[in-house]
Structure 1
Amino acid sequence: MKKAIAEFIGTFTLVLFGCGAAVIAGLGTGPTAIDVLGIAFAFGLAIVTMAYGIGPVSGCHVNPAVSFGALLAGRMTTDDFVRYVIAQVLGAIAGAAVLYLIMSGKAAGWNGGLGRNGWGPGYLGEYSVVSAFVFETVATFLFLVCILGVTQKGAPTHLAGLAIGMALTVIHIVGINVTGVSVNPARSIGPALVSGNAVAIGQLWLFIAAPLIGAAVAGLLFKSGTLAADES
């Protein structure tokens, strides 16, 4: 139960602060406005803070794709995987719900969005579904390579949280204009469901499938020993 609570809090934090940066600060003007770099660092720093806050309890997955990669790498049980995913999705929904409550108090200028992921006409850079799928798959794969690499035996684990947070930051810098960046099914599910946006809900399949595929490849590479550190 401690692990599930930690994962709930961690995913709640990621969605509230990451998506909150995009929705709240992204609506600002002048000195209160932030750009892609600011949003990217909000997501990355949220992961860094939670990595050191709840990492000792649950490992700070806060992402079903990370848990799936860890499962296939042989680093967690199926029972724990199911508990983690449930807690992560509920945490993301709760984070999006709190963000909705905050934004609903804004007098004007809010269109009801909660930092959803997407692609196609009318969404950010208007990239195609193929571009979105390729980015989400490859970015999640590389994210998992970082996570599984810096948390394996022999790695300097005291720096793991910083490395993982920086990896998520650079992924956002590159990919925000493509999909808004998911690499995390829970992060996509929360804002889509709470906002009730039909397009966002209809596009959720990509932000579930692509991250899981990327995570699976990384997990299997570590399980096979291909990316495992040599033991001295």
Structure 2
Amino acid sequence: MSKEVETVETAEFAAKDYQDPPPAPLFDLEELGKWSFHRAIIAEFIATLLFLYVTILTVIGYKSQSANDPCNGVGVLGIAWAFGGMIFILVYCTAGISGGHINPAVTFGLFLGRKVSLIRAILYIIAQCLGAICGCGLAKAFQKSLYEREGGGANELQAGYRKGTGLGAEIIGTFVLVYTVFSATDPKRNARDSHVPVLAPLPIGFAVFMVHLATIPITGTGINPARSLGAAVIYNKHKAWHDQWIFWVGPLIGAAAAAFYHQFILRAAAIKALGSFRSNA
């Protein structure tokens, strides 16, 4: 009798109450013939364009307003809210179409986690970078004099900080963001915590908000290579290009670390624990 009970309990423990999607293929040429694929690329382009347009105008507007009086303007808190709030809005709008990446680092991390194919990842990143450039171009067109005078919202290593410090800030900041993306979209978490409704764009937007509060004084906060590239291309000054590598190397390392931590440590640890339970039973 006890063996039967033990067998039933083991079976109940082994049964999943969620379904992991299959790993994305490395090369999926069939995607290229689907309208949904091209629609997703367009969504990433437009979302990144809107993201840069709003946030860059917020940055240069604050710098202009606070030039004579530091108490004027939205302040660093307002800038952080602009970035976090726009990510919340745009991820909410595009999650069902493209997944709402809006960031090459997020796309790279999800590619390493086998959530998207290589072809999709490459075209997403191209669309994001082009969208960022166009978004910054629109911001410059609307406020050309302010754009040039206030630095174009370009990411630069701030005075008093070494390059290693800036790189570390970008790595850790992107780790927080990409780790949040993995956690917020984890099917296992959604099943386990189904009694607590979690809107995935909300924690992702808050992650962007919190990271900006921490790293604006250091690098102006990149954690998004497309954002940094778009501002550098349109502003096109030496300092923005000189520090550009920090805003690519840091986010890509941070995204890779977050993907490894979530996929191969947190998720793998649960599988090992389940295997140990079965062997003991």
Give the TM-score taking structure 2 as reference length: 0.75
Superposed CA deviations along residues 149-198 of structure 1, whole A, max 9, x for unmatched, are 11111334851101100110010011101000000100000010111111
**Whole-angstrom distance in 2 between the partners of 1:17 and 1:220:** 32
Report the aligned-residue RMSD: 2.2
> Which has the larger Rg?
2
Percent identity between matched residues is 32
Q: Return the offset for 1:102.
A: 1.2
Give the total of aligned pairs.
226
The question of 1:128 aligning with 2:162 is answered yes
Task: Pick one of 42, 48, 53 that aligns with 1:16.
Answer: 53
Give the TM-score taking structure 1 as reference length: 0.90
**Whole-angstrom distance in 2 between the partners of 1:115 and 1:14:** 13
**Whole-angstrom distance in 2 between the partners of 1:16 and 1:158:** 28
Instruction: Give the partner amino acid of 1:143.
Output: L
Once the two structures are superposed, the pairs formed by residues 156-167 of structure 1 within 5 Å of their partners are 156=190, 158-167=198-207
Q: Are the equivalent residues in 2 in contact too, given 1:152–1:228 (CA < 8 A)?
A: no
Q: Are the equivalent residues in 1 in contact too, given 2:158–2:220 (CA < 8 A)?
A: no
**Whole-angstrom distance in 2 between the partners of 1:149 and 1:228:** 14
The question of 1:217 aligning with 2:257 is answered yes
**Whole-angstrom distance in 1 between the partners of 2:268 and 2:126:** 29
Superposed CA deviations along residues 75-114 of structure 1, whole A, max 9, x for unmatched, are 01001001100000000000110011111165xx951521
**Whole-angstrom distance in 1 between the partners of 2:107 and 2:198:** 20
Partner of 1:87: 127
**Whole-angstrom distance in 1 between the partners of 2:270 and 2:138:** 45
Q: Are the equivalent residues in 1 in contact too, given 2:63–2:150 (CA < 8 A)?
A: no
Partner of 2:5: none
The question of 1:25 aligning with 2:62 is answered yes
Task: Pick one of 97, 111, 130 that aligns with 2:149.
Answer: 111
Q: Return the offset for 1:226.
A: 2.3
Q: Return the offset for 1:145.
A: 0.7
- Which 5+ residue runs of structure 2 have no aligned equivalent? 1-37, 191-196, 275-281
Residues 228, 56 of structure 1: alpha-carbon distance in 2 compared, 3 angstrom cutoff: farther
- Which 5+ residue runs of structure 1 have no aligned equivalent? none
Q: Return the offset for 1:136.
A: 0.3
Partner of 1:74: 114
Q: Return the offset for 1:223.
A: 2.9
